[in-house]
Structure 1
Amino acid sequence: MKLDELAGKPLTYTEVGATATTMPAGYHHLRKSSVIGRGRDRFEQAAAAGMRWGMLRGAGLRVDAAEPVADVGCDVLVHLGPVKAPCRVVYVVDEQDRRGFAYGTLPGHAESGEELFLVSYDPVTTEVRAQVAAFSRHATWWSRLGAPVTSLVQRLVTNRYLRAL
């Protein structure tokens, strides 16, 4: 599977954008955040890195993206060792105190669902937070068979995302 083969492929789930609101039933849900610093400068630096796939790359994943900065419709191939995870950016958050993006799974991904990578700034406390939200369910026989391992890998990678920026 190559990046240029993803164009035009449909997402593998229908609840597009649900990481921004109420996540749908029938999926495993994940919401996690961590304070990664303080101050507006720290927020700007972390947000810029995050939009350039920083949480993924900083977690040790290889990222092949159609664009250097996350944008709606951008196709992405994330590599975790020999496993390729095809995704597409489905929305971008670009607010004064919140920046990030969510991508959804494409055919060939071991899971079906969506993941949000967000950096936020609290002007009262000056805390900068990295946040990850996701809903997913197994999409292949081998991910169902290896459910305990794939769930463990998801938790470990999520913790690495939060430390990546």
Structure 2
Amino acid sequence: MRRGTFREGTVDYAAVGATHAPDLMQYPPEHSVPAEDSWRIGSGEDRFRTAAEALLSWTAQRAAGLSLSDVRPESGAAYTGVSFDAEGTPIAPNRTQLEQRFDAEGTPFAAPGMTLKLRGRVKGMRADAELRVISVTEERRRVGFVLGTLGGSVVSGEESFDIEWREDTDEVWFTVRAFDAPAAVLYHLPGMVRRRRRELFARYLRAISPLYATPI
């Protein structure tokens, strides 16, 4: 069984929200390569809040060596994000309007419907892309967001970033899930998509974990 299709209208892939599906690694969207990793980055509420703030203010991307530009919050009330059920199936649009916040440089925090451009390279591999924030989660013990490609990348697909403060252990975990389908000719070569994704995951960890303090 493959993940069902749902197209938001501007992204360049069909399975919007599939990074939320529990069976992503077993049943990825067609022609895509799935990836998932989790890291314990500390414990306690202070650590959770610090990591959550860093995540929503693009620390993972910036400290990974990627530059943000053309960050545009969604204008008007046309788009408020996509909601998903426990199986990752899109449901009625999320009507929760999140208060817009900004970092010290004036860049808006991640918010539903926002579009942006990323530029950079990871060990010689392109990480350029035009992206849309598909959804944002801000709960008492979990904060995260989902990015989907609009175009201009060597791959098409989706990434989800989550910071979770686990109630049973008090531990804070950082989880990144993704699926990538090769777009550029070079990335159809065996192993190229996985190699690029592996390096991105390592950089995201260094950005968010206090064990790898990296200045922005």
TM over 0.5: yes
- Residues 1:156 and 2:162 are matched in the alignment: no
**Which amino acid counterpart does residue 36 of structure 1 have in structure 2?**
I
Classify the secondary structure of the residue corresponding to 2:128: strand
- Residues 1:129 and 2:134 are matched in the alignment: no
Unaligned runs of 5+ in 1: 1-8
Unaligned runs of 5+ in 2: 1-8, 74-107, 209-216
Classify the secondary structure of the residue corresponding to 2:203: helix
CA distance in 1, matches of 2:44, 2:132: 31
TM-score by length of 2: 0.67
**1:66 counterpart residue number:** 72
TM-score by length of 1: 0.86
CA RMSD of aligned residues (A): 2.0
Choose 1 or 2 for highest CA Rg: 2
Q: What's the CA shift string for 1:1-22, capped at 9, x where partnerless?
A: xxxxxxxx82111111111124
**1:17 counterpart residue number:** 17
CA shift at 1:57, angstroms? 1.3
CA shift at 1:109, angstroms? 1.6
* Higher strand residue share: 1
CA distance in 2, matches of 1:10, 1:141: 23
Q: What's the CA shift string for 1:45-93, capped at 9, x where partnerless?
A: 1001100111111222212232521111111211123652111110111
8 Å Cα contact 2:36-2:175 kept in structure 1: yes
CA distance in 1, matches of 2:192, 2:29: 22
CA distance in 1, matches of 2:36, 2:192: 19
CA distance in 2, matches of 1:83, 1:123: 35
Q: Provide closer, same or farther for how the CA distance between residues 32 and 52 of structure 1 changes in structure 2, counting only shifts above 3 A.
A: same
**1:5 counterpart residue number:** none
8 Å Cα contact 1:111-1:143 kept in structure 2: yes
CA distance in 2, matches of 1:28, 1:137: 6
Q: What's the CA shift string for 1:112-154, capped at 9, x where partnerless?
A: 1100011110122111111100011101223324x53443122
**Which amino acid counterpart does residue 62 of structure 2 have in structure 1?**
R
- Residues 1:42 and 2:82 are matched in the alignment: no
CA shift at 1:159, angstroms? 1.4
